[in-house]
Amino acid sequence: MRKLTVLKNSTHRTDQDTCTADPRSLLGIALVEASLPRAVLGRLINGEQYGLVLVVPSLHHAHIVEEGLRQLLPGNAAVSVTASCPPGEASTLLLHALQHALPAIAIITQGEEAPIAFAALADLTIRVRGHDARMVRTTMRKVLEQPIPRFPKDLVLHPDPALVCRCIRHGLEPVRIVRALQRLGQSINQTGHERLPDLEDCIEFGMAREWGLSVKRDIAAWQQGKLPGIDLDTACLLVSPPGNGKTYFAKVLARSLGLPLFEISMASIFDNDGCLNDVLKALREQFDAAAAAAPALLLLDEIDSFSRRDAADNNRSFTTSMINELLTLLDGASGRLPGLVVVAATNLPDFIDPALRRPGRLSRTIELQPPDREGREHVLRFHLRGELEGEDLSRVLDLTEGATSAAIMDLVRSARQQARGLGSPFALDHIEAELAASDIEDAALLERVAVHEAGHAIACLVLPGAPVLNSISVLGNAGSAGRVQTFDPLGPATRATLQARIMMLLAGRAAETLVFGDDPSDGANLDLRMATALAASMRAQLGMSSSLLYHRNVEDLLLKDPAFADCIDEDLQTLLDAVTGVLEQLLPHLHALAARLVEERFLTRHQVIDVFNATTMSERASLTGAATPRSAASRYAAAEPISP
C-alpha cells in the first residue's frame, strides 16, 4: 500500500514522490485531508477504482483542490473541475477512468450538478469544507519551513483561497504574511476606506444582530460538518424607514461571516435597455454569481421595487415575470445553496409580493428601529474612532434621541468638517455646536412644537393602556421638529388600548387647539396618517366594529368607499373630542410641561413625571379650602400624582 500522507506530518504522496512547496497545492491537500475519510483517501492514493464527487465552496476552491489532488493521486487518475470543462468532456473523462479501474473525481461547486452518468456510478459524494486558519498556518509552515506564530483571534481570512495563497511566499517573514492576510480579509465588502465594526459589538441592530450571530454560529457548524445544510436559517427581510442601516447591516454581517457580498437591486438589473428578457437574464446572472461564490451573502436591496403581482398598474405582466423569476431563484436555495445567506431590505413591506415572504423564502422579518441610548453610544464611539475617549457624551446622547445610525454618523462627519474649517482640534464642542445648529430658532414655532409634544406626553401618562412614554424632545433632528419616544405596553392590543393609542396620536393636535385656538398647523401630518391607518385597521381588519370582514388593502378601501371613509372620520373626531376633554382638565400641566420643554429641549420620562407631579401639587395647594373647579364628567378630571 502506498504511504498515506497527512499534511501536518509530511508532504509526500509516496516514498519516492514529493510534493512541491507550492502554497496552492499544499492548501489543496489540506482541504482534501480535512474533508475525506482516511479510508477513502487511502484508496485514491493507492490508485484503486473509486468514483468520488467533491462539492467545494466556490470555483476558486475547486482549482485549489484539483492541484492538491494531482499531487496526491497517481498521474493516470481522472480529476475534473466540471465547471471548467466543455459539456460532455468531463463525463467522458471520468467514466473512462472508472472503466479502466482508476480513481475518478468530479469537483463541483455548490448548486452545480455533477455529470449525471458519473454521479450515478460514483461511490460517494463529499462536501469539502472551506479553508480555515489551521490549514493556512500549516501551509505557511511547509512553504516557509519554520514555525508559524498563532494567528490573531480576530483574523478574517479572505474567502478566495487563491488570494490567500498569493500572500504566502518563500523568503517572507511570517509576521509580514500574517499582516497581509489581515489586510486582505479587511478588504472584504469594503468600498474605499469604509470602516466596519464587529457584529458582536453592534447592539444598535437589536434582533438583527442576534439573528446574524446565530447565522455565524450555524455557518461555522455547517462548514465543520456538524450541522446539515437544511437546518440553516440564512434568509431574512429587514424592514425600517430610511437611515436605520439595512444595507450597512448587510456589510457588517458579511464582514463578520468572512463572506463576499453580492448586491442585486432594480437599478443593477435594468442596466441595459430594460427589455424583459435582458432584465430576467441580468437577474439570473447576478444571482448565479452569488451562488457560485457560496458561501456568500446576497443583498436584495429595495426589494419592494419588484412590486407585487397583484398591483393595479399597466406593467402587471412585466412585474409578474420578474417576481416569478425571483421566486424560482429563491426556491430551494436553502437546500441547494446552504452557504448562501440572503438578506432582503425594504422601506415599504406592504409593497412586497406575499409569495416572497412565505416559509422557505423570506419568512423571517426583522424590523430595524432607531438605536436606543446604548446603541447610539456605540455608533457614536465607533465613528469617533477613539477620539474624545474621556469625554462625557451624555448630553449628546440625550439630544440625539430618535436619531438613526446614519444621522449620528453624519453628525460626527459634520462636526469634524466644522473643526477643520475653524482650524482647531476636533472636540466635543464641535458636536454640540452641530446639534445646536439644528435647534428651532423661531420662538413662536418652538412654543407650538413644545405644546404639541407636551400633549402627546401627557396623554401617554394619563390614558389607561396608552403607549408608555420614554422621552420627549423639541430638536431639529430625526427628521422632525419634535418627537415623543414611546413603546407599547405589555399584553394584547384590545379595542381600549388601540383607542388610547389613537387618542395619544391626536393629543398633539388637541393641545395646539386648546392653547392656540382653532388654527391648526401642519405638525399633525404624520400623527393623522398613523391614526387613520390604525382606526381603519380596527374596523376593516381586526373585527373591532359591527363587521367581521377582513380587507387586505385598507388604503384602497379608504379611497374607493366613501361610506367607510366617513365612518373612520367619525371615529377620529370622537376620539379627538375625548382627548381634548382630557387635556382641557390638565391645562396647567400642559403649559408647565411645554415651558420646561422649551427650556431644556429634551426630557426623560422621569423628568416629565416630575413636572407633572409638581404641577399637581401646586394646583392642589392653590385650591386649599376652595371648591374644586373641575368637572366631574371626565374620569380624568382630578390629576393624581404619577409614579415613575
Active site residues per annotation: 453
Q: Are 83 and 109 in contact (CB under 8 A)?
A: yes
Cell of 133: 486558519
Q: What DSSP element (H or E) covers 239?
A: strand 235-239
Residue 343 main-chain phi, psi, to 5 deg: -120, 120
Are residues 593 and 457 in contact, defined by beta-carbon separation less than 8 angstroms?
yes
HSE, side-chain direction, 13 A CA sphere, residue 446: 16
d(CA 485, CA 372): 10
| Angle between helix 495-516 and helix 587-600 axes, rounded to 10 deg | 80
Q: In what order do the strands lie in the sheet with 50-56?
A: 78-81, 103-109, 50-56, 124-127
For 451-568, strand residue ranges (E) read 468-473, 483-487
Could you tell me if 297 and 225 are in contact, meaning their C-beta atoms sit under 8 angstroms apart? no
Q: Which residues pair with 278 in a beta bridge?
A: none
Question: Are 188 and 159 in contact, with CB atoms under 8 Å apart?
Answer: yes
3-state secondary structure 408-451: HHHHHHHHHHHHHHHCCCCCHHHHHHHHHHCCCCCHHHHHHHHH
User: Three-class SS of residue 130?
Assistant: coil
Taking the C-alpha atoms of residue 476 and residue 479, their distance in angstroms, rounded to an integer, is: 7
- String of DSSP letters for 245-283: -HHHHHHHHHHHHT--EEEE-HHHHTSSS--HHHHHHHH
Contact in structure between 568 and 620 (CB atoms under 8 Å): no
C-alpha cell recorded at residue 121: 456510478
Residue 366 in grid coordinates: 426583522
- Residue located via cell numbers 473512462: 96
Query: Which segments of 468-515 are extended strands (E)?
Result: 468-473, 483-487
Number of other residues whose CB lies within 10 A of the CB of residue 311 = 14
Three cell numbers written together for 387: 477620539
Selection from 557, 332, 590 nearest residue 457 by Cα: 590
Are residues 597 and 454 in contact, defined by beta-carbon separation less than 8 angstroms?
yes
DSSP-derived 3-state class of residue 236: strand
**Spatial distance between the Cα atoms of 565 and 532, rounded to a whole number of angstroms:** 9
Is 514:584 a contact under the CB 8 Å cutoff? yes
With CA atoms as reference, report the closest residue to 597 among 505, 502, 514, 475. Answer: 475
